[in-house]
Amino acid sequence: MALKTTLAQLEEVQAAITKILEGGQDLAISDKRLIRARLEALTKREDMLLKRYNAEQGEGAGARNVGIIKRMG
């Protein structure tokens, strides 16, 4: 299995956050229930991946991010 880039991981985490924000934390169909990853855990991972991505791009803490931005919500 190939390792995913930081950008690919970040995009996956942000897509998961969007699913939760649009559709809720859990889903029930008949007697089955699906609980998505916790929003708090995903936002912590998003923060970590954003820091890593910015470091990989050579952007310091004070640099303006012109690529992927953290969602506000």
CA distance 42 to 48: 10
CA distance 60 to 21: 30
pLDDT band at 22 (very low <50, low <70, confident <90, very high): confident
Task: Note the pTM of the prediction, 2 decimals.
Answer: 0.67
Residue-wise pLDDT tens digits, 24-63? 888 788 999 888 788 999 999 999 999 999 899 886 555 5
Q: Which amino acid is at 1?
A: M
Domain spans of the chain, in order of start? 6-56
